[in-house]
Amino acid sequence: MGSQQHQSLYDILEVPRDAAQEDIHKAFMRAKHTYSPDSPALYSVFTKEEADELLRLIEEAYAILGNPRKRKEYDDGIDRKSNVVTPGHLSLVSEGTQAPPSNAKPAPVKDKVGRSGYSRYEIDDSLEKEIETKEVFDGAFLQRIRTYKNISIDQVTKATRIGRHYLIAVEANDFRSLPAPVFVRGFIVQIAKMLNLPEKRVADSFMKLLKESTQK
């Protein structure tokens, strides 16, 4: 499947270079449906793993092409180089998920196991205390909590239906890549719920950061 990565993002979504944003969105929805686990069209050609891999490529392609600003950057990049963008470019988008948890220090003798409803994790008292008293919840801290609680981005996507690219943008504090504030607030509330955090406090804090960033 390595050869899939030599396609341009437009090829992956099967849209022309000058496609309208709406068409890109439609193509994305269609492709997601094609590679969904129970899609009849996959029967006898792609395994589940291959379909998941393709789905990942498609989501990463949409993370860039679905965002007008990133799309323009990408287009400029293509015009400068050849038509093919290597996967290294794409992996910048998902860097966040590959970062090791920052609190991977071995916890002092602890038998306490926390449960999040999606995972089990070892309780870190100091971090739990930090969470309790925390005032400012930015994307990076949310990511820290998520990895601490052993919840993957995939799990969050599946449970909340929030697009992977938006989750990554939230954790990267990439406010400009997020949709309208009313949606973002909804995202944060759902994420906070999943992470067993106080929803209002987290959402208020994050939205304040978002607002401040747009005013700069």
Residues in touch with another protein (CB under 8 A): 1-4, 6, 14, 30-31, 33-34, 39-46, 50, 54
Closest CA to 175 of 204, 143, 214, 148: 214
Q: How far is the CB of 35 from another protein (least distance, A)?
A: 8
Compute the least distance from the CB of residue 192 to another protein, in Å.
Answer: 34
Smaller CB separation from another protein, 44 or 82:
44
Q: How far is the CB of 15 from another protein (least distance, A)?
A: 12
- Find tokens 């949606």 and name the residue: 183
Q: Residue 16 or residue 108: which is nearer to another protein going by CB?
A: 16
- Pick between residue 6 and residue 208 the one whose CB is nearest to another protein: 6
Which one, 37 or 106, has the nearer CB to another protein?
37
* CB 38, min distance to another protein, A: 10
